[in-house]
Structures are given as C-alpha cells and as structure tokens.
Structure 1
Amino acid sequence: MPKSPVLPVALDPDLDLDHLVRAIAADAAPALASSLHSAGSRYEWEEIVPELVRRLLEAAVAGEPSVHDRRRVVDVARRCARDWVPLQELEHCCQIVLTVLFRHLWNVARPRAAQDLLGISAGAAQILPRVTTMLRRAYIDEMGRTGGRTVADLVVTTLWNGGDVASVARVAGTGMPGSCVLAALSPVVPPDETDAEPVRFGAVPPGVLGQLPAGGMCAASPDREWLIALLPAPHDEDPESRPAVRNAAIRLVAACHAAYGRGFVAGLAAVTRDDAKAAIEEAIGIGGLLASLGEHDQVAFLTDAAVGVALAGRGDLRHRLESRLSVVRSHEQLWETLRTLYRSDLDRGRTARSLGIHRSTLDYRLSRVEALAGVSPTSVQGILLYSAGLYSAELGDDDPAL
C-alpha cells in the first residue's frame, strides 16, 4: 500500500499493513456469509475482499479514490456482474468491509490518534457514495456487455431486496416512474395438478412484454417464482381508483395466460419511495391469496381482497362460517350456483348461461339457498355472508401467509 501522510500518525509505523488487510478480510468473512443471502458463503469473497479493503482504505485516507483505486474497484464490480452476484449484495459487501476496517483501525491505532481516525472516518463517509456509484456503473455496463440480464432484471432485484431502486435506475440510464404500481403475477395451479412442478420463470416472453404500458417493465423475481411488473400510474391520484392501472394489469394477466397456457392472477400494490420492499410483500401476499382461491385471471389491490385477507388469518372465523353454511355446502349444486352468481357480479342472465340452466331454475335454486340458510343470496347481508363462506371454503384449514 502506498504511504499516506495520515497513516504514519494514526498507526504504528511498524504495523504490517498486509497482515492488517488479511485480518480485516478474515473478520468480514462471517458477516458476508450470513448477510448476503444469494451469494453468501458460496462466493469467493476471499479473492475480492482484500482488494476492496486496500482500495477503500486508501480512498478514505486520501479523501478521493485514485485512478488506480477506481480501476481496481471497477474490476471487482465487473467480476461480480459476470458471476451474477446481486448488485445490492456487492454494495452491502462494501458497507460490511468498511465497518470491519474501522473497527480494526481503532484497535491498532497509536495512543492519541483519535482525531486522525475520525478524519479518516469522515473521508470514508464522503467517498462511499462515489465508490457505490462507480460500482453500479461498472456492474451495469458489464451486465449489458455479457448479456443474459436486462435493466428490468436489475430493477426488480433491487426492489426485491429493498435497495435504492431510483439510484440504480438512474445509473442504468432508465427513469423510474414518479408514481407506479407493482404487479406480482403468479400462475393458478389447477386442482388436478397440485403435485406438478411449479413454474420457474426466466426471460419474460415477448407477448407479455408487448402488453406493458409505456415506461413499464417486467422481470422474474430473484427466486424465479413470480413475474414482477412495474406499471406507471397517474401522479397525485390514488392508483386503486384508476381503471388504466387495473386494465394494464388485466392485459398482462391475459398475456401470461396465453404465453404459459394456464390461468394467472396479479396482486397489486402502490410503490412508495420510502418502502418499496413493503409493496413487493403486499403484492405477493395478495397474489398468493388470489391463487390459493383459484381466482383465474383476476387482479386485486389489498382493499379489493379485504374479505379474503381478514379470513386468511382467522381460522376460528373460517370454522364458524363452515358451520353456519354447512347446510348449503352439503348441496354441491347450490354451492356452485352461489360461486357462479358472485363471479358474474350478480348478473342472473350471465349466471344462468354459465351454468347452462334457465333463469327460472336459477331463481328456484337461490330461493332454496334462502330457505336453507335464512338469508337471501342477493341481499347485502347475504352477499357478505355467502361471499365470506366461499372465500373460507377455498382457503381451507391452513392460514395463508400475507
């Protein structure tokens, strides 16, 4: 390591800096293994971290990364991009290394060197954002050069991990919509295919990408179990009340159905700059609920699925509903009639056509339901009661995680 005017004052001049670098790298290894969930202990951090320690220490002391430091940091970022280490984990690696580095410096500093070390710490705080930007630019450049991943993949992964998606998108040369809705798309598994292997998503089919609105993007989640889409929404308006957002999600669901040959659903959530990760979790929770209910080709925000969400965490309430409506559920024909009626938005003509029966037959069945349960299926009370019962029956005995 080149000599610095600060290091001889702060540190023992006889200190073996190569030994210090190795000690810092070894100390950082457990934190890297436990904190970086994708790469973790599987990646060859021991080949990268010592170089990062040297570069970060030199840059902190000098207050500005040298040309040599920049080149070596860029080399590290490019290698991680080629090895498919998530960008956010590389950034987190730098933060861990800096934390361990300064802990070691305080341990080996000469007496009364606190002021010098505080100066180095301040320098590190100033240069870390610049180093992070260098990492991002080099990583994104290498990702584009080697192919196999898109900016949408990077944005979705950053969202998934709770990273600074706006900064990443800016470095990647793409703008994040000022207001947007996240759609978590999932296939609905037919009852006769519950033992089949789940769909593992890779590249998004062109037919799905073609349905994205201007400024939207879509990519597979890092675990490849979901398709995550970002849909632009009108500024300063509640996206849940805007048909354009729902219609865009409906078109994506239909395109997924056509591309993958099975029904899809989409959980929707507005993305906030303060907590984008919460939007991912909310959208996936709603999408999982819709899929568990067998709701083919449906899209919903949290408020749309309020009944299902409330029932999902209340096994006792589901058992009460099962007992209350058991007399209707025992008549399979009547139960299916209720399900079709509500899926048809109480349109009796549409319900009768879907069931292949006459309107008078439908009216008779609904009167039978009222006679058995004491509540009309088309009254406000009946709609709430029977809809909740249908939700509860689809959820079963397990408590879905939302």
Structure 2
Amino acid sequence: MTGSGELPDMLTAHCPRLDTAIGEALRGHPAYQPIRRAAGPMFGGRGATCARLLALVLAGDPLPGEDLARFRDLGVLAARQAIPLPVLSEVWDLALAAAARSCWSVAPAASFAEMADLTARAARLAGRAREACIQGYAEAPREGGTSRPLRRLLAETLIDGAPADVIADAAGVRLAPAYLVLVCEAPARTSAAHWQRVSERLDACDGVLYSGDLGGLAVLFPAADPLRAEDAAAEFTAGLAACTRGPVHAATSLLGGLADIPAALEEASQVLTVVKAIPDAEDRPYRADELLVELAILGQPDIRCRLAAVLSPLDAGTDLRRTLEVLLACNLDRERAARELWIHRRTLHYRLDRIRDLSGIDPSSARGIQLFRAALTSARLTSLERDGGHDGGADGGADGGADGGGTDGGGGAGDDRAGGQAEHASFPPPLSA
C-alpha cells in the first residue's frame, strides 16, 4: 500500500501534466476558446484552476461560495456568447473525463481504493460547480436579452440529459414526470414566416418544450397521459403539414421518465431516418413498433445488399423504380398512381408486367409488393446515408425517359414532368437534423 499522503503528493506533482491533458482534450473544440477567454479572468487560467480544484478534492472541502459564484458567472457569459447548453456540457464532460484519465494513469495499483474515493469526491464537487454554471446560464436571459428563451434552453437541457430543475424554476415551468419526444422535418422550401407561425403555436402550448427549427425540430410533449401526448403530437404534425403544405416526416418515442429523454430522442431520430426512406410515408408521427422490419433492415448490411439485388434488374427498363415508388405512395391505388405519373392506366399495367418479367417478382402479389417496398426503403436509406441525411431524390429519378416498348401514348417529357411531381409529393428533400 502507499503510505499516508503519498497519493495526494503524487497527484499534486502531476498537476502540470493534468493541465496539459485537459488542454489536449479540449483543443480544437469550437466552444473551447470562447469559454477559455471568459474563464481566464475569473479563475486565473486553466493551470491555476486545475491546482485549486485538485487541492479542494484532496482536502475533501466543498466549493467555497466565491468559487460557486465564479462558475455561475461563467454560465452567464457562456449564455451571452450564445454557446448552446449541450455544447457547454460537452466541453465540461470532455474536461472531466480527461482529468480522470490523467489522474488514474499515475495512481499505483495499491492506491486504487483511495483513488476511487478521490474520484467520487471530485464528481460531487464537479456536480456542484456544474449546477452553479447551469444556474448562471438559466438566469442570463433575464439579465441580458441576448441568449435564447428559457423554455428552449430547458428543452435542450432535458435532451442533453443534464440537471434541469434550476432552469425549470427560472422558466416558471413545472416539469412533467415524463415527456413524449417528437422529432420532425419539414420541406426545404418552407419560409421564415412558416417557422414564426409554428414557433408561436408551440410557445402557446402549455407545458410543451421544443428545440431546433423546421429543418430539424424536437418537441417534448408532457406525457403524464401518454395517449393524450400522442394525440397532441399527431395534431401538431398534421397542422405543420397543412401550414408548410407538407409533406412532413415525423417520429415519436416515449421510454420513461426525464432521465430517459436522451434515449427517446435517439430512438425517435432512428425512426425518422427510416420514415424518410419508406416510399409510402404519411404526414403523421411514426413509432418504432410500427417500423420494426424497416429498423431491422437498417442494421443489417448483408440484407440490404441482397435487397439491392432485387431492384437491380429494373434498371433494364425505364421509370420502373419510380413507378413502384409512386404506386406505394398512392397506397396501391392504380388509378391514382397513373394520374400522378401522367400515364394511361394500360401503361401502368405494362410497367408492372415489365417489372415482373425482369425481376421474377410479381408486384401485384402481397409478397411481391412487400419485398419491393423493403428493397426501395433499403435503397433510399443508402442514398440518405451517402448524402449525409439529405434526400437528394437519386433513387426516384434514376430511370427517367420514355417508356420501353413505345406503349406510353403520352409518355416522354410529360411522364418525366408529372412523375417528378409525384416523386416530390412522396419524397421531399428533408433537411438534416
């Protein structure tokens, strides 16, 4: 075992390297320099801050009131510099993780129990400092008008998984025991006026919190009554689609209490990725249990390769993939699909027969259309991944031109034009979240 005072002496001597480790972990982070400029005058630089906080941990002392005030002021300055709270939290976590790794790297094996106790002390001290920082961040909007509204800040805090009581009190919001998380994206052509109307509506909803904009919006609906929360999310999505003239992609998740909000956001975001890929998506929120097959495809690269092989024979024809996409978007209504494609219904039948002949799969059968739907979804997922989440419409328009065989009496350019309209109705180019 180490002798009395040996580990504290080692850590004190290690302090300069601890300072270096934290600096290396934070170097290059976009928020580091503004935070460093704000913290320097208050704490005397990173090295002095490391030495002071390490001394408090080793002595087992709590943070003095003057230090808590400094951390509060740091939060105020971060808010006034418009540093988002999740980014501030990320910097905080990076610094703490780097400090812990650095200290543990020099601790002798015989001192692990003592080191664990010191780590627990440091966590408690850091938690108190972080709470003071968040309190300052929350109070900044009332002291100066430059930071974001408190309700948006509260939503970001819950989404980040950070303590939210201080901000909720400052915002005058009584936190619900649980929240339904809705994520949605509106078409790229929506204007600032659309967003103003939507945000005003959200601000008027009692207890509803939100973050983002129409390019990637996260809304938290109080879910003491889950069914009521689902109805509210569906009503909001329908209103958003009507306001922006849609289509709108949306997904929801409700996993438990406040601590489960980050996981719910992750699940809803994954579902949203699939919703943007399915060819028959509606203007409503989808839940994970509605898209289990598609979510399974998302995580199976081998299956997705095999599904790609299902579609590859269709490249021998023209407009065949797009025909399937529009047919699915029209809920298999052939008359409507023909109108959307601006072709005669006989031409639609010809194309479906051509698809069957080329692929060996009958799109008129239940099994066949399900397989094609899965294949188109998989191809769409691949396109979204390649474009970084942006829907470029690459899949739908790959087969443009007149129909093979010359049976399309009015096809050609008209088919391309109307088909493009049908594709636009089914696959808007969503913004990345």
TM category, shorter: 0.5 to 0.7
Which residue identity does 2:46 align to in structure 1? Answer: V
Q: Is the 8 A contact 1:265 1:290 kept in 2?
A: yes
Q: Find 1:81's aligned residue among 76, 79, 82.
A: 79
Match runs of 1:236-251 below 5 Å: 242-251=230-239
CA deviation after TM superposition for structure 1 residue 49, in Å: 3.0
Corresponding residue for residue 53 of structure 1: 50
Indicate the percent of aligned positions where both proteins have the same amino acid.
19
- What SS does the corresponding residue of 1:205 show, helix, strand or coil? helix
Question: What CA distance in whole angstroms lies between the structure 2 residues aligned with 1:138 and 1:399?
Answer: 39
Q: Find 1:265's aligned residue among 249, 252, 256.
A: 249
Corresponding residue for residue 135 of structure 1: 133
Quick check: 345-354 or 130-139, which moved more? 345-354
Question: What CA distance in whole angstroms lies between the structure 1 residues aligned with 2:211 and 2:5?
Answer: 49
Corresponding residue for residue 345 of structure 1: 331
Q: Find 2:222's aligned residue among 209, 218, 232.
A: 232
1:32-59 per-residue CA deviation (whole Å, 9 max, x = no partner) reads: 337xx44246752682534643653465
Question: What CA distance in whole angstroms lies between the structure 2 residues aligned with 1:371 and 1:117?
Answer: 72
Q: Which runs of 5+ in 2 are unaligned?
A: 390-433
Q: Is the 8 A contact 1:59 1:69 kept in 2?
A: no
Corresponding residue for residue 301 of structure 1: 287
Q: 1:368 to 1:217 in 2, by over 3 A?
A: same
Q: 1:200 to 1:123 in 2, by over 3 A?
A: farther
Q: 1:55 to 1:136 in 2, by over 3 A?
A: farther
Question: What CA distance in whole angstroms lies between the structure 2 residues aligned with 1:371 and 1:182?
Answer: 43
Corresponding residue for residue 411 of structure 2: none
CA deviation after TM superposition for structure 1 residue 94, in Å: 6.4
CA deviation after TM superposition for structure 1 residue 210, in Å: 0.4
Question: What CA distance in whole angstroms lies between the structure 2 residues aligned with 1:72 and 1:120?
Answer: 23
Corresponding residue for residue 26 of structure 2: 32
Question: What CA distance in whole angstroms lies between the structure 2 residues aligned with 1:189 and 1:207?
Answer: 15
Q: Which runs of 5+ in 1 are unaligned?
A: 1-8, 108-112, 191-198
Which residue identity does 1:88 align to in structure 2? Answer: S
Are 1:385 and 2:379 counterparts? no
- What SS does the corresponding residue of 2:233 show, helix, strand or coil? helix
Q: 1:366 to 1:156 in 2, by over 3 A?
A: same
CA deviation after TM superposition for structure 1 residue 330, in Å: 3.5
Corresponding residue for residue 210 of structure 2: 218
CA deviation after TM superposition for structure 1 residue 344, in Å: 3.5
Q: Is the 8 A contact 1:53 1:98 kept in 2?
A: no
Question: What CA distance in whole angstroms lies between the structure 2 residues aligned with 1:125 and 1:367?
Answer: 68
Which residue identity does 1:227 align to in structure 2? Answer: L
Question: What CA distance in whole angstroms lies between the structure 2 residues aligned with 1:220 and 1:381?
Answer: 40
1:284-320 per-residue CA deviation (whole Å, 9 max, x = no partner) reads: 3333444456868454333444454455544422332
CA deviation after TM superposition for structure 1 residue 137, in Å: 0.8
1:127-159 per-residue CA deviation (whole Å, 9 max, x = no partner) reads: 443333222111211244333312344345445
Q: Find 1:207's aligned residue among 191, 198, 208.
A: 198
Quick check: 305-314 or 315-324, which moved more? 305-314
Q: Is the 8 A contact 2:181 2:261 kept in 1?
A: no
- Per the normalisation by structure 1, the TM-score is 0.65
Are 1:320 and 2:336 counterparts? no
1:350-402 per-residue CA deviation (whole Å, 9 max, x = no partner) reads: 65765678xxx64x566546654287756532441343354356456675689
Question: What CA distance in whole angstroms lies between the structure 2 residues aligned with 1:253 and 1:296?
Answer: 10
Match runs of 1:64-213 below 5 Å: 64-85=62-83, 86-89=87-90, 91-92=92-93, 95-96=96-97, 99=100, 123-146=121-144, 147-158=146-157, 162-164=160-162, 166-167=164-165, 170=168, 172-173=170-171, 174-188=173-187, 205-211=196-202, 213=205
Corresponding residue for residue 262 of structure 2: 277
Q: 1:178 to 1:324 in 2, by over 3 A?
A: farther
Question: What CA distance in whole angstroms lies between the structure 2 residues aligned with 1:148 and 1:70?
Answer: 21
1:77-126 per-residue CA deviation (whole Å, 9 max, x = no partner) reads: 3233333443313542663586389669979xxxxx99999886665454
Quick check: 146-155 or 166-175, which moved more? 166-175
Question: What CA distance in whole angstroms lies between the structure 1 residues aligned with 2:106 and 2:341?
Answer: 76
Question: What CA distance in whole angstroms lies between the structure 2 residues aligned with 1:53 and 1:171?
Answer: 31
Which residue identity does 1:282 align to in structure 2? Answer: E
1:199-249 per-residue CA deviation (whole Å, 9 max, x = no partner) reads: 999x9524344057532222228xx9622222334546697xx54433333
Q: Is the 8 A contact 2:178 2:223 kept in 1?
A: yes
